[in-house]
Homo-oligomer: A and B are copies of this chain.
């Protein structure tokens, strides 16, 4: 069973890396950028047939290691 985890900075947290990408794109001539934020993407494949169990295992990994819940939020999707 395979899951995608998308980790993004919370709305009010500054994203310097995203800002740098934004400025670079603008420097390259892109003039219709409104906003750009960078996050992380993790694909996790589990040996687990029960979807509910697998989902909660992934959620557990997010809370214990992958996500800094103070400044980040996450979404889990089955893929």
Contact = CB atoms under 8 A, between A and B. Distances in A.
A14 interface: no
Interface of A: 4, 6-8, 18, 21, 24-25, 28, 30, 32-48, 57, 61, 64-66
Do most interface residues of chain A lie in helix, strand or loop, or is the interface mixed? Answer: strand
Contacts of A64: 28
Contact of A46 (B32, B42, B45): B32
B42 A37 contact: yes
Q: Give the interface centre of A37, A44, A57, A61 by most chain B CB atoms within 10 Å.
A: A44
16 contacts: A7-B41, A8-B41, A30-B61, A32-B48, A32-B57, A33-B46, A34-B46, A34-B47, A35-B45, A36-B45, A37-B42, A37-B43, A39-B42, A39-B43, A40-B40, A40-B41
